[in-house]
């Protein structure tokens, strides 16, 4: 009787340690994925900001500079990321794409890093170039 209970206790302890180990592994994995996702998002944000700065330079040099014909509806994320031609540049391990529609008083900068995508919209007056506002879409 005591030998059987020791076996059952051992099996129970092994199952308990396996459950604890699995839970710990899942917690660590979720923490890693969340942290990595946040890092990629931040990198994409700063790439988009770099795109805004690059676009400002282009607008100062040429107030009529544009990359795409007008498109409706405005602020269409899918069109901006996947369809718009834009002006694309690689920077580090990511890239940014600037989209300025002809005769519009705003432009977009899309920061791309892995699965991270950030879209910033800059409104401006022209000429002379002056930033009115910017926002994240």
What does the pLDDT look like over 69-85, one tens digit per residue? 888 888 888 889 898 89
Radius of gyration of the chain (CA): 25
Give residue 47's Cα distance to chain centre.
9
Which residues, in sequence order, are CB contacts of 76 under 8 Å at separation 6+?
none
Which residues, in sequence order, are CB contacts of 3 under 8 Å at separation 6+?
none
> pLDDT tens digits, residue range 18-32?
999 999 999 999 999
Q: What angle do CA 126, 131, 133 make, to 5 degrees?
A: 125
Q: Give the residue from 97, 107, 109, 119 showing the smallest Cα distance to 64.
A: 107
Q: 97-112 in b/e burial notation, b at 16+ Cβ within 10 A?
A: bbbbbeebebbbbbbb
- Scan for tokens 């500079």, then name that residue: 65
Question: What's the pTM?
Answer: 0.80
Look at residue 1 in the predicted model and tell me its pLDDT.
55
> pLDDT tens digits, residue range 83-102?
889 999 999 899 999 999 98
- What three-state secondary structure class fits 107? strand
């Amino acid at each position: 009787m005591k030998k059987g209970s020791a076996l059952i206790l051992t099996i129970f302890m092994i199952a308990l340690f396996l459950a604890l180990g699995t839970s710990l592994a899942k917690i660590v994995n979720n923490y890693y994925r969340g942290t990595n996702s946040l890092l990629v998002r931040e990198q994409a944000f700063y790439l988009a900001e770099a795109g805004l700065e690059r676009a400002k330079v282009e607008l100062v040099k040429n107030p009529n500079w544009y990359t795409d014909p007008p498109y409706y509806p405005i602020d269409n994320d899918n069109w901006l990321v996947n369809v718009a031609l834009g002006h694309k540049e690689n920077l580090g391990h990511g890239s940014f794409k600037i989209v300025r529609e002809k005769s519009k008083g705003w432009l977009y900068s899309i920061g791309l890093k892995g699965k991270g995508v950030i879209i910033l919209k800059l409104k401006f007056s022209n000429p002379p170039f002056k930033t009115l506002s910017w926002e994240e879409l």
